[in-house]
Chains A and B, each alone.
Chain A
Amino acid sequence: MGNLASALVTGASAGIGTATVRALTAEGIQVWAMARRTDRLQALAKETGCIPLVADVQDGPALDAALDGITPDILVNSAGLGAGITGLLSASREDLQTTIGTNVTALLDITRIVLPGMIARKRGHIVNIGSVAGLYPINSVVYGGSKGAVHLISQNLRLELRGTGVRVTEINPGRVTTEFMEVAVPPDAASFPKDLPIKSMTAEDIADAVTYAVTAPGHVNVSMIEMQPTEQSFGTIQFDPLEWAND
């Protein structure tokens, strides 16, 4: 596009967010890198020239002030987590609030705050990091539920923004090697498949997809990219006879 010159990346202190900051700054885009962890953001700023923005995406009342004067052409909603990923029955109420609060409410809130500027400047691009868990039933009620919301938020946002020139892209990755699972899976959930015997994607692979979407020509909206390890697929059918119901 050429005229998208700046970006705000949330969840920038680790994983896909960090890789996206690196990829976009390498494209010559000015990046505000937003996350809670000051030391990591400062190291990333030294390395990439990004502008650190220390804030908590879940801290609603503070967000307006934190984003005051920040006028990105691109918003990458990368902040996300998987508290409660082991199952609804093993999740706490706090897990539910944390996951919905970060993956859904904060994504809507930050998008709501930056959109008026994009619409007024007649250029903008919202990139939401979703998940294959938001598209297929892969046994992920809480996390998949939150990412399913991101999927429909992206599709509906595209309709709400008709005629504004603001693009909306969702990127739905399968397994990526990041801190995600370390944070999401409690130490006592030993049976949860935290590590897989395959070559997972890297955060850089996802950042490549973000770059492809944001550098597409102005008339093109790369609206959805789904990507997964070559060694991963989704589906199959389960049969579970209930022995006790056979009489």
Chain B
Amino acid sequence: MTKLKTALITGASSGIGEGIVRVLCEAGLTVHALARRAEKLSALAKETECKAHAADVTDQDAMAGVLDVVRPEILVLNAGRGAGFDGIANSSPKDISSTVATNVEATLMLLHLALPGMIERGRGHIVTMGSVAALYPSPSALYGGTKAAVKQIAENLRLELCGTGIRVTDIRPGRVTSEFYDTAVDDPDKAAAAKNTGIRELSPIDIGNAVRFAVMAPPHVNVSTIEVQPLEQTYGGLKIDPVAAISGNS
């Protein structure tokens, strides 16, 4: 397997996706950037010389068309959506279905469309965008649930693809500064509070560098997981909330 040269990145018009486009372009790869927002993509294309594909990852026909033309060696399944941070009890049915459609269903559908070509050509690299929310309990059943699905998809895919030479990497970032929380939390005050962590967060370029480390590894090495988080962020601990009816305390 020679070094892989062509990459398709979904969710490329902003945030982590845009960071990955910038880093991989700088690394000398031919980069195809896919997202819904044509204007943002063409500005990015002008700046980085990536090729713009304005399309919706949940539109299966559109995706089949793009993959027919692009035939990527590296597929970065980055498009993702956050919702349900107010709790599943308060989430709208639309939030639930659109989050699952983007984070899980579109990921599986793109794999279904892209893998036969990769297997036939005998080379390929799938990069999924997971999250630390897939690994540690955090108060979002919806978002963390979809990212845990991505984690298991990546791990099972590695077994499905063993013997094909295709690599699978799952990147699991902690807090990254992006537009994510603008759309993830409906209430503007709560969104502002969720965004204000007071720490030095990761930048989309930091995640781009993790993708580059995995993609540039020698062909015999599969960097299967990178978990990366701000130095000032950790996960875990215990929560104790007495319920009067049970312990008599409150």
B220–A229 touching, CB < 8 Å: yes
Q: Say yes or no: A230 contacts B165, CB within 8 Å.
A: yes
Q: Is B162 an interface residue (CB 8 A)?
A: yes
A-B pairs under 8 A by CB, number:
100
B39 to chain A, nearest CB (A): 31
Q: How far is the CA of A172 from the CA of B225 in the complex (A)?
A: 9
Interface size class for chain A?
A: 35 or more
A230 to B4, CA, bound (A): 14
Interface-located stretch among A16-24, A57-65, A80-88, A153-161: A153-161
Q: Chain B 222-250 against A: per-residue CB contact (8 Å), 1 yes, 0 no?
A: 11111111111011110000000000000
Is A233 an interface residue when CB atoms closer than 8 A count as contact? yes
List B residues 187-241 near A (Cβ within 8 Å). Answer: 200-202, 206, 209-210, 213, 217-232, 234-237
Check B147 for interface membership: any CB of A closer than 8 A: no
Decide: A162 and B234 in contact? CB cutoff 8 A. yes
Determine whether the beta carbon of A230 is less than 8 Å from that of B231.
no
Q: A220-B206, A222-B210 are in contact. Are A230 and B230 (CB under 8 A)?
A: no
Q: Does A228 contact B (CB under 8 A)?
A: yes
Of residues 191 through 247 on chain A, the ones whose CB sits less than 8 Å from some CB of chain B are 199-201, 205, 208-209, 212, 216-236
A225 neighbours in B (Cβ, 8 Å): 223, 225-227
A220 touches B231 (CB 8 A): yes
Check B226 against A231 for contact (C-beta < 8 Å). no
Q: Which residues of B contact A (CB under 8 A)?
A: 1, 155-156, 158-159, 161-163, 165, 167, 172, 174, 200-202, 206, 209-210, 213, 217-232, 234-237
Binding site for B on A (CB under 8 A): 155-156, 158-159, 162, 165, 167, 172, 199-201, 205, 208-209, 212, 216-236
